[in-house]
Every structure is written in structure tokens, then in C-alpha cells.
Structure 1
Amino acid sequence: FPVEIGKQTLVLGIGRDITERKRAEEALRESEERLKILFEFAPDAYYLNDLQGKFVDGNKAAEEITGYTREELIGKNMLELKLLPPEQIAKAAAALARHAHGKHAGPNEFALNRKDGSQVPVEIRAFPVEIKGQTLVLGIARDISERKRAEEEMRESEERYRNLFDSTHDMVQSVAPDGRLVFVNQVWLETLGYTEADLPSLNLFDIIHPESLSHCQELFSRVMAGESLDHVEATFVAKDGRPTVVEGHVTPRLAGGGVVATHGFFRDITERKRAEEERK
């Protein structure tokens, strides 16, 4: 701005070093670019929607899994696009209600209706996020077709062999990667005193004696990595609290290119171990 100094009119300028600010702006821009690339090329379907369920953005995987282009998705919600079957809409609405209260939802399984009329099973996790002062929902949808196919193959296989397993004198169990007991035979139930009704609430590690727990967890990890184990000895806990010593072998159940369960075949050796102790 002009200033008078004596008989001269001069222009006074004020400069400020903004090197740090420009450096910070450039770092922010680079960070946003990296995040944009991660979002766009993530292998799972990433999408953003508002609290009314309207899509705000989506990545390439979201386009592939739904069959819709990003332009077709943005501004519409799942109901308009009929992405979910009617019986699953209530579950989706419950998830949105959680987001409105700042809570995450999932993992939840849905059957996604694609644009071409086909269905794909997906597992969705969703998290409320704040972007430019607006609360949005970041959803991550994973195609679980292969996993569901492997589970179905395993179920059919277990059904085929159920009669065979029930006729054996050994305890037979099949365990999922998370420790759920997928199948046990009648001898297993009778030996440990459980019923079929008990199974949904049982985990493998619930029925292992504390003294065997760390050993069995290590063996389970090895089998899930593809190893077959012979001469396995462990102590189970019966429903009434009795320790039951067993020995046998455990093998991995392969499907879809990976290990989907473990198969264990055991024999109750409690009496034999007791007799050995008495002879000492």
C-alpha cells in the first residue's frame, strides 16, 4: 500500500515466508492422493454412503461386485437399486441405525442382487466416518462366494460320512478355523456327555482341559497350516467336568484351495492312563 515519505510516495509491501505452509499443503495433497489410490484399487468393494443410505462414492471393486457403474450408484440407495432381497432390508436398516449413533456394524452377511439379476454372497463391515463436517458411512464388502461354496461342500461331505462316522468306535470331530465344532459323531457325544443341542454354543477350546490348552492351540495352528498330526494326546473335559484323556490323529480338511476345517479321530484312553498310574 502507498505511503508518503517526505515528498516521495512509496509503496510499502509486506512479505511473509509461507514455505512451511506450502510444504504442509503439498504433504496433505500427496497423502490424499495415496489414500485415493488405496481406496480406488482395494481388492474389496469400498463405498461411502450417507445416513439415509444414499451412495456418495465407490471404488472399482464396488462397481464389479454390484455390476453398476459409479455414476449409476451415486445418489441412489440400496432400496432404489434393489440390491438386497426384501427379507434382509431390516438387517441393513439396523446397521444404519447403529451408524447414526456413531457405532460400527458387522461383519454381516448379505445376499447382494447384482444388476444382471445374479446374486453374490457378501460380508460387510461398515464404520461411521467424518468427512468435511458430514457423517458418512465407510462400507467394506467382501465377496465370500468361495468361502460359502467351501462351507457347503464341507457340509455335504459331513452329511455323506455321518453314518460312517457314527458306526465307528472312535470319537470323531470336525472343527472350523474359528474353533466351532462343525460335526461330532455319536461316540464323541456319549463319551463326553454332550447332546446335539449343546454343539452350537460349544467351541473346541471350551472342552479342552486347561493343562492341555496351550499344547492343543499349537497343534490346531499347525493343522490349519496344512500339517497332519499322528499320536496326538490331549485331555478333554466332559460336560459333567470329568477329565477325559484321548489320543488319536488330526488332519486338515482342504477345499477351495485352502484349509477349511480340521478332522480329528480320537480314542478314550482314560482308563488305560489310570491303570498305568496305578502300576507305578
Structure 2
Amino acid sequence: MVNEFGDLDNITSDLKDLLLDLTSDSIFLHDQEGNFIYINQAAYKTRGYTKDELMDLNLYDLNVPEFTECIKSCINDLMEKGEIIFESAHFRKDGSVMPVEIHSRIIEYEYQNLVLCSVRDISLRKKAEKALSRELEVNSDLTKLSRKLLESVPIEDISDMVLEYAQKFTQSKFGFVGYIDPETGYLISPTMTRNIWTECHVKDKSVIFEKFGGMWGWVLNNKKSLLTNHPKDDSRATGTPSGHIDIETFLAVPALVDENLVGIISLANSDKYDKQDLEVIERLSNLYAIAITRKHSDESIKKSEEKYRRIVEKFLKVSNEIIIEISKKE
């Protein structure tokens, strides 16, 4: 049957191409060696290629190397079962990676067993899964820290734990944690002797800071958090002293109790800090503030106990001397 547009078979073929190009999923038809026979518009556009560029590639050129063996195994399963669904990852033309879910099935075409794949970009799903996994991990670690606060753990050990979790949560290379001495107002950082100590070559460095300088000083003086991925261009930066670690990215959060400054968590040199990093460190700083407050409270109680102990001892001594004098007179 023929009409003014040509034969019906061609019209049907054009219509199929149009319909496949309208779908947001990528459609691939390839042989068992991975050579492409057909791709739809989404397949090449979402990966940054022209149609001809992608057709010149092989399935294995698209797949991220870590999934190569998985793909081979999946094709063997596909040959056996006829249809499978699995996850993989494709390279885009610019080198970025697209996580994908692939629904593959065997079809027979011109006496060949070909592989028809419907491929869905699952970047948003993976991002959500990663965020959920991180949130669960953060909550678990914060719970562990909270339990430590219920124990009589020295503030030095709590500070070490806080820094460990802070660096872990944000993938920070360097950092320090410190608390304010309520009597002197100085910042004391028991964690300063960890990895940052050997890397920093500032002359006469100390774990006690009488004055607050640089970006971490701005955080303490203003009682506000600071996040910057370009510290050299930040107006709050005052430069670093000779021998100091080069600061590439920076994140610091004050530990506050009712607007009273009690400490700080300061981090540096993650690849890039974001809003999620800031939020989790602020949660961590709240727990650290509780730990510092408890330390100050315990120290205050000990001082009070010591004061009353001396008063009682003095009273008992005087009483004993009076009794002795009375005994002598009798």
C-alpha cells in the first residue's frame, strides 16, 4: 500500500523513531559485542554527544571501568534469562558520570539475538540515597557522642571525638576544636597536638590562644558560623602567618550556650564545603557546647567542694585546739 508520503513501512518506521525520541529514557539497541545499531535522541543528548559520535562508540566505551565486569556478567545472565534489570554508570562526553538503571531484554531481529536497553538516569535517586545514608551515619555518630556526655569523660577526650566526627562528616583534611576558659577568656585547643601540629610550622605555636585572629577569630568574635570555599578572596580573612598551613577551603562554627561563647569547631581543606556540611557541624557544636558547659559545672563543683573542705578542716582544727586548751585547764 502506497500513498503520497511513500510506503506504509517507512511511515511506520518514522513514527517509531518519533515516539522513541519523545521518551525521556535512553534507548539503545546493540549486538552482543556492544556495537550500537540504534539509539534514540535522549541517548546521545543526555550524554553530550551528537548521534553520529555516539554511534561510533561501543557500549564498553560508555561504561565506567568499575562496572565492566558487571556488564559482562549481566550480558551472560541476559542470554540465560532473556530479560534483566541492573544498575551501572555511563560516562558523559565531558567525563562526568551518570548513574543509570538499565532494563535489558533479548529481541530477535534478522535472525540475530540483539539487546534492547531502556536506560534511566538515576542521579537524583542516588543523590537522595547518599544523603539518607549520610544522615543515618551522622545521627548514629551523634548518638554515640551524646552517650559519652552522660559519662565522666574528660573534655580532652570529648574534644578529640568531636574533631574526629567533624573531619569525617565533612571530609576535612585539617581542623581543631577548642573551648573558652571562663576565668581567662582564652581559647584552649587540646586537639591542636593532633595531625595539624606536625603540618603547621608557625614559630612558638601553642594550644592556648590569648587573642583571636584570622577567620576562626572572626567566628569567635562575632559568634557566627563562617563557610567559604575561596578564603583568599574573603574579606574576613587576614592572611596566614609564616609557616602556617595553606587554607584552601574553610568552615568554622562557634559553640554557644544561650548566646554565650564557650568554644569552636574549625575545619579546613575539604574539596568543597556546602550547606549540609554547615548544618551537621552546627549540630555537632551544640553537643560540644553541652560538654564544655558540663566541664565548667564539674570544675565549679570541685572548687566549691574544695573550698568547703578547707573550711571544715579549719573549723575542726580550731575546735580541736580549743578542746585541748580546755582539757589542760581542767
Q: One fold, TM greater than 0.5?
A: no
Larger Rg: 2
Q: TM-score interval w.r.t. the shorter chain? A: 0.3 to 0.5
TM-score under structure 2 normalisation? 0.39
TM-score under structure 1 normalisation? 0.45
Please identify which structure carries the higher strand content: 1
